[in-house]
Structure formats: structure tokens, C-alpha cells
Amino acid sequence: MSIPAAPTEIRTRFAPSPTGFLHVGGARTALFSYFYARAKGGKFILRIEDTDLERNKPEFEKEILESMKWLGMKWDEGPFYQTQRFDRYRELALRMLEEGTAYKCYCTAAELDEQRKRAEAAGKKPKYDGTWRPLPGKTLPPPPAGAPFVIRVKAPLEGEVVVNDAILGRVAFPAAELDDFILARSSGAPTYNFTVVVDDIDMRISHVVRAQEHLNNTPKQIIIMQALGWTPPIYAHVPLVLASDKSKLSKRHGAVAVTNYREEGYLEAAMVNYLARLGWAHGDQEIFSMEELCRVFDLGGCGNSGAVFDRAKLDWYNAHYIKACTQDEIIRRVKDLYAVDFSPLLSHSSGQRLLAALTERAVHLKDFVTGAQWYLHENPAQDAAAVETVLKPAKKELLRALSAKLEATGDADWKADKLGALVKQVATENGAKMPELGKPVRVLLTGGLNGPDLGLIAEVLGKARTLARLARLP
């Protein structure tokens, strides 16, 4: 098979390994690659780098694809699997041997370990010493009969390998720091850097958008591409996503599966918008739809330093997008995620107002469930701290006075504004401050100290349920 022609269109790729879940850093990289392809009228290719047979798991691949779909990414080609391409890697490794850009190395593990020790003792960076590299005037030892060998590339011996990065600018790697790295192991299995290069060649990738942690692999990949006679793609290394203390993001800081955020009640639009702004800017604009990002995204807007993952900012985006949802959409999403049905609320105006009040306060979709558990359950759980600090010292005569007033309230007057005014009236008539009555009433009706207006709570519960709950004072 010949080397494909260099790409004539923008072609980006995302190449996850199914050895773990897709976390926010990987998701951001995928989105940047996707946005760029769409903004430039190009193609987005999905490749699964599944050569680590011991660590690959089907559930990881399923979660990665599910996360990408949830975030709205639609790949144009793929997914392609590296395990289905071993013949192609072998073909090109043999070609490089024939053309003299690679060679066989018979060094044993013990010999390589001895090389490493000598380099360390001399205060040098450990690297292969070129024992089996053919050079003019050099006589190589005879290959051991039947001995296993690896295939190594002929790296440049002088000068430097330059990466003209679309985000980081010019990055030079002195040849003295590089060595003749391995292309194929003694088992015949190709190495990571070799498979990546062959795939990028065959898939005609024009732009490689990936995390900055891959930068040190880039000179190796450029060496292989040049040895194969192909012009390297344009590289764009996105700076890492960092924790608040500027360390590498870990599970403790938020590097969990993207699907975890969905289950917590984050909207895909909020996640996409937040990740887009995590290290990228388009003027001072904060709010972007997926459609707009696929129109205006450009690598020039990417910063060249690490971006700190800020859960509070993500929450701000999520609250914004929740407020933009229709009530029907909120009901559908909550039902799909948590199997809780709020649709009866839409049948009456007080229910619609309650849903609006919950929407105004919600940060996550799960807040609708926790914030309305008093509506969903006849005996809502009571916050232990609120029971100790509010209910136990509550003035029972105040609550009895309120219950008597509520008992005498007719159906026509069972409205939020009138019920709220009635609570204030009872407090005033009994010489009490509003919190002395309002707080215990709220705990009895909802189980906690948070929630919408007391009058609205009572209206939604109805007269019988409200009086029954007020009678539960310990």
C-alpha cells in the first residue's frame, strides 16, 4: 500500500484509549478538535487506540462513545480500531527497514540496563547508545542466531527537531536529547508513537489537536513521518486542565467520568460551553451554543498555559442553562435521569409556579428532586440539625395559633399570597418575630430550612396536608 496523499482538507481526529473513562480533560480536547473541524468545514475522525489489550475494557469504550454523543459530537469517519491495523503497521516497519530509515537492534534487556547505568553514572540522560545502528565505516557485530530483535528508527544525530505548534509556537528539541527509539517490539507489536503516525498518515489528518502532555512524543512522530516521506500535520497542543492548586487534575478535583456529571444533573449545553471556555476565548463572550462554537472556534483563541478547573464556574453555567429550559423540558430531563415525574405540577397554576421557583434556585437537575422531596413524599425526611435547633425550641402556642387560622381559611382563600400574609399576621399578633414562626413551619412542611415561599408551599400541599404536617411538632 502506498502512502496516501497529503490532506487537501481540514481533518482532525480524537483518539482515546479504552483503558479508562473519558474525563473532562479528554472531553475538552475532543471538543476543541471537533469545533475546529466544523468551523473550517472539515472532517472529524474517531480512532480507538486499543492496543493495550491487558487494560482495555468494553465498558470504557462504551462510556467514551456515550460521553461524546451526550456532548453533541458527531464523527464523520470511524471509529477505527488499531488492533485491526497490525498488518499495515508491519508493512511500513518492513518498508523502513528496506529503505534504511530503521534497523534491527539485538540488544538484550541486560545490555540496555547496563547502558542506562553507565549514562546515569556519567550524569547523562539515559538513552540507547546506537550499538546496532549502521553508520559509514562502522562494523556491526554479527546478529545472534535466532535472537529476538526490535526495530529502531534512525533519529537525527545533530541539529534539532522543530515543532511549529499552532498554540505553543516554535518548540525545538535538540537531536542530542533524542535516541533511536523503538518502532516495533521483539514480539512484532508496534509501539504507540509508530501506530499514531501510521494512522495519522493513512487517515490524512491535517491537524492534531491534543493535550500538552503529548508534546514530548511529537518530535518522535515527526521523525517517523519524515522517514516515511510525509509532511507532518499541524500540531496544536492544548495546555493541561489543572486543579485549583495548579496540580494535575485528579479524581479528587473533578477528573471523573463525563457521564458522572450528567448523572449529577449537569446539562450537556452547560458542560460544552464551560469546557469550550476552559482555556479558549472569543473576545469577552461567555455564553456559546454548540452551533456557534462550531462556527467561530479557532486555535488562535487558545491560551498557552494551564487552565484551572473551577466547579463553581461550571455550576454557574449549569444554572444559566437550567433557567433557559422550558418546564416541559425540565420535567422530561428529571424523569429520564431520576425516574421522578413532576408532570402533575403542570396541571395547576400553583404547581407551575412551584416549578418556576425551583428552576430559579436550581444549580443541578437533581436539585429539583431534593428541593421538592417535601412535595414528592408524604413524610419527607427532616434535617436533623433543623429539628434540634428549630423544632425542639419552637413555641407550640404560635404553631397552634397558625393552625387555627389555617383551619378557618376557606378554599377560595387558599392562595400563596394570602397564606404567606397569614403567617406574618399570626407572628405579629403574638408578639413574635417572623423567623420564630416561619422557620419551624418551613421545617414541618418541607423537612428543612430551604425552599420557595412558605405561602406557595402551603398552596401546593393543600389544606389537609399542610395541617397534618403542622400537627407533627415533636
Domain hosting 143: range is 87-238
Are 13 and 239 spatial neighbours (Cβ–Cβ below 8 Å)?
no
Alpha carbon distance 19, 2 (integer Å): 32
Among candidates 303, 309, 288, which has minimal Cα distance to 39?
A: 288
What is residue 346's three-state secondary structure?
Answer: helix
- Residue 243 and residue 362 share a domain: no
Hunting for cell 497529503 — which residue is that? 6
pLDDT digits (tens, 9 = 90+) for 43-58: 999 999 999 988 999 9
- Residue 104 and residue 197 share a domain: yes
Alpha carbon distance 153, 252 (integer Å): 40
**Core vs surface per residue 371-408: b (16+ CB within 10 A) or e:** bbbbbeeeebebbeebbeebbeebeeebbebbbeebee
Q: What is the largest CA-CA distance in the chain?
A: 109
Give 145's DSSP letter: T
Alpha carbon distance 224, 154 (integer Å): 9
Q: Which of 189, 221, 238 is the last residue of a domain?
A: 238
- The total number of structural domains in the chain stands at 4
- Residue 106 and residue 35 share a domain: no
Hunting for cell 408578639 — which residue is that? 431
DSSP string, 23-63: BHHHHHHHHHHHHHHHHTT-EEEEEE----TTT--HHHHHH
Residues linked to residue 174 through DSSP beta bridges, in sequence order:
160
The residues near 442 (Cβ < 8 Å, ≥ 6 apart) are 448, 449, 451, 454, 457
**417 belongs to a structural domain:** yes
Q: What pLDDT score does 92 carry?
A: 97
Question: Catalytic one among 251, 323, 335, 392?
Answer: 251
Q: CA angle, 10 as apex, 9 and 11 as ends, to 5°?
A: 110
Residue type, 441: V
What is residue 183's three-state secondary structure?
Answer: strand
Q: Which of 312, 342, 371 is the last residue of a domain?
A: 371
Quote the cell numbers at residue 226: 519524515
Cα separations in angstroms, 364 against 71, 271, 369, 370, 381: 17, 12, 10, 10, 20
**378 belongs to a structural domain:** no
Alpha carbon distance 421, 132 (integer Å): 91
Verify whether residue 251 is a known catalytic residue: yes
- Residue 171 and residue 92 share a domain: yes
- Residue 248 and residue 202 share a domain: no
Quote the cell numbers at residue 457: 408551599
**28 belongs to a structural domain:** yes
- Residue 463 and residue 388 share a domain: yes
Q: CA angle, 73 as apex, 309 and 3 as ends, to 5°?
A: 105
Q: What pLDDT score does 381 carry?
A: 86
Alpha carbon distance 386, 393 (integer Å): 10
What is residue 64's three-state secondary structure?
Answer: helix
Alpha carbon distance 371, 342 (integer Å): 12
pLDDT one digit per residue (tens) for the chain, 474 residues: 445 555 679 999 999 999 999 999 999 999 999 999 999 999 999 999 999 988 999 999 999 999 999 999 999 999 999 999 999 999 999 999 999 999 999 999 999 999 999 988 888 888 899 999 999 999 998 998 889 999 999 999 999 999 999 999 999 999 999 999 999 999 999 999 999 999 999 999 999 999 999 999 999 999 999 999 999 999 999 999 998 888 888 766 666 889 999 999 999 999 999 999 999 999 999 999 999 999 999 999 999 999 999 999 999 999 999 999 999 999 999 999 999 999 998 988 999 999 999 999 999 999 999 988 899 888 888 889 999 999 898 889 999 999 999 999 999 999 999 999 999 999 999 999 999 999 999 999 999 998 899 999 999 999 999 999 999 876
**379 belongs to a structural domain:** no
Alpha carbon distance 33, 27 (integer Å): 10
- Residue 228 and residue 96 share a domain: yes
- Residue 230 and residue 91 share a domain: yes
DSSP string, 241-300: EE-TTSSBP-TTTT-SBHHHHHHHT--HHHHHHHHHHSSB-STT-----HHHHHHH--GG
**421 belongs to a structural domain:** yes
Q: In terms of DSSP bridges, do strands 169-174 and 160-165 run parallel, antiparallel, or are they unpaired?
A: antiparallel
User: How far, in whole angstroms, is CA 197 from its chain's centroid?
Assistant: 26
231: left (phi > 0), else alpha (psi -120 to 50), else beta?
A: beta
Cis peptide before 79 (omega within 30 of 0): yes
Own/partner contacts of 375-380, CB < 8 Å, gap of 24 or more, are 375/345, 375/460, 375/461, 376/340, 378/465, 380/446, 380/447
Q: CA angle, 43 as apex, 41 and 47 as ends, to 5°?
A: 160
What is residue 326's three-state secondary structure?
Answer: coil
Among candidates 152, 235, 239, which has minimal Cα distance to 200?
A: 235
**351 belongs to a structural domain:** yes
- Residue 186 and residue 144 share a domain: yes
Q: What pLDDT score does 1 carry?
A: 40
- Residue 104 and residue 211 share a domain: yes
- Residue 9 and residue 72 share a domain: yes
CATH number, domain with residue 57 = 3.40.50.620
Q: Which of 238, 264, 299 is the last residue of a domain?
A: 238
First to last CA, the chain: 82
CATH number, domain with residue 408 = 1.10.10.350
- Residue 193 and residue 58 share a domain: no
Using only the alpha carbons of the chain, give its radius of gyration.
Answer: 32
